[in-house]
Each structure stands twice: as structure tokens, then as C-alpha cells.
Amino acid sequence: MRKINFRDIKSRIRIPRLNLPESQQSRKRLYLSVAGVAGMLFLVAFGYGFWYTSQPGFCVDCHEMKPAIRAWRTSLHSEVPCNTCHAYGVISSLKQKTTLVGEAYRHFTKSYDPQLNRDSELSKKIDNDGCLQCHTPKRIITPRKSLLMNHNIHLEKGVNCTTCHNRAGHPSSSGYRDFISMDGCFRCHGLSKTALAPGRCDACHPTDKKVFDLVPVSHKVGTWRAPDHGKIAKQDTSTCFMCHKKTFCRGCHGVEVPHPEKFVKAEHGSLGNKNPQVCRNCHREKDFCNACHHKGYNERSGGWVPLHKNVVAVSGPAVCFSCHGPTYCAWCHVRGVKQPLSERLTKQ
């Protein structure tokens, strides 16, 4: 049998080969090496940048952040990194990093708000996942016996932790509204039918007076009825309406208070004529009406009646007749009799 010489066959078969010049192969290896090193450096730089921009030390580099950092350091969360609350999870952290460009622009152009997070807008973006790493939703005990707080009910309703605990990480910052207060609760709770949550006292407070007295200490002071409560209500009635319905004031005052604009401009005159005692319940000054109705009169100089001649001498009587009838002055100056209250104003 004839032997086959494989070497001879192999020499006759031509196998196509890609013969690159030695210089091209070396260049290819060099490019791959550079790309690999650059990729590694990028990953290291990206990882370090991701880590560093998540540290409080990075935040404090900008002077506008220093008050927030100081408040954080005095809080119960001073050992908790920023991103645990502000950007929990990889995806949330990446989204947060994309905002750094805009923040850097506002920093260098000084177009930022000096009071950062003025209305606690950031608290709306903080998920419960960060909080629940340490806190349990099953907590029943509340800080004070005077307060009944069930966290589970709020979580079941979809209320975020930071809806109430908006200053948990920065509690001592001045100029910010802390929602852990009764007026903060009444953003949702209320006595009206449109309120998101009940505003009854027993919804959040025990009914036992020995544990908690529903009547505030301020209401027990002798000057509360007059004049204290009126001064407070004039500044802000929202505190009053946490416990009282809006019709509560009318029960004593006999009129809507604080007075709406329509009442002040058009309606108060007729009420004052019909029942002046309603006005005197609060406006006990003898010349209260004259301070507004008689321009040029200064109540500190004395009563209106003895001083009205000085105003008339300067302005003339035409000003008087814009409200009073043409014979109004004659009742006192001619007849010597005070005009009846029902006839003092011009009939419109």
C-alpha cells in the first residue's frame, strides 16, 4: 500500500493568511493597551468622583451649604451620609449627580437662593426606603403622652416620612418651617369636609384631661378674651381654625371676623348704624370710626367733636356732605340738639 506523504500535500495547499506588517501589529497592541488603561482610569475616577460627591465634605465646599451642614452635624442623623436620605440607591444617586452641573452654574453665577430649600421642596423627593433602613414602620410609642401617633396609618395612606419630618436631618436651621407642629399637621388634617384627614381633637390627643388639657395655657390668661385673642387672630387666623370652625367667631362677634374686604369697604356702615354695640365689642375707642372717616384728624390730639372745626376750616364742609346730609350740621350748630342716629348718614 502506498504511503501518503502529508507533508507533501500540506506544501501544495495554500492557506490564506493575514500578514500584517510588524509595525501595524505593534500599534494595534499599543492601542488596546492604552484603551484598557484609560478605561480603568475612567472607572477609578468615576467611582472616586461618585463617592466623593456623596460626602458631606464635598457639600461644605460651597459656602451656601455651610448652614445646612452645621445643622446636620447637630442632628440625630449626624452619622448618616447625605446620600442615605437625599439619593438612596444607585439610580437615585445617578439622577442626583446630573443636577450637580446646574448647581455648579448657580454657585459660580451666584444665582442661588441664599435660603436653600426654602419651602422644604427637597423633602418631597426623599423616599421612605432611606428612612426604613434604620427606622421601623411599626413604631407605636410617641415622644409625649399628650400625642397619639400611629405611623402605620400614615404609611398606608401613602404619606412619606419627610412629609412630616421635613427637618429631621437639619433641625436647628433658622428661618425654616418645621412640620412637626400642629400647624404642620393641619396641612392635611382639618375640620372642613374637604380636609384629607380628621381634625377632631381625639384623633391625635388623649381625652383624659389629667394627661392632656385641650385648652391652651394662653386661653386661661385673664387678658385672653380682650384684647389678646383679637391681636393674635388679626395676625393669623389659621391657628384659631385648627380647633374652631370658621363660624365660631360670629357667635360672639355677631359678624364675620376678621372682616372681609367687602365688609370694610361697603357693608360696615349700615351694620354700625343698626347695631353699634356689635362694633364696640372690639372697637372700644371712642373715636375709632373718626380715625378713618375724617381725613386730617389725629385721635391723639383729642376727641373729634371739639376738634372737627379745625379740619373743616382747612378742608371745607364739602367733605362732610359726602356722608352727611345738607342739614346735618344744623342740628348741633342751630338747634343745639344732637341729630338722631338714624338720620346721620346720607341715604344712598
Is the per-residue pLDDT at 3 higher than 80?
no
State the Cα–Cα distance between residues 322 and 269, nearest whole angstrom.
14
State the Cα–Cα distance between residues 248 and 280, nearest whole angstrom.
19
pLDDT value of residue 30? 80
State the Cα–Cα distance between residues 268 and 255, nearest whole angstrom.
10
Please, which pLDDT band fits residue 21 given cuts at 50, 70 and 90? Answer: low
Supply the angle between the helices 100-109 and 90-98 in degrees, to the nearest 10. Answer: 30
Q: pLDDT per residue over 64-100, tens digit each?
A: 888 888 899 889 999 888 888 887 777 777 777 777 7
pLDDT value of residue 341? 59
Backbone angles phi, psi at 284, to 5 degrees: -90, -5
> Cell 391681636 sits at which residue?
231
DSSP H or E stretch at residue 198? strand 197-198
- Widest Cα–Cα separation across the chain: 162
Q: What is the pTM of this model?
A: 0.64
Please, which pLDDT band fits residue 305 given cuts at 50, 70 and 90? Answer: confident
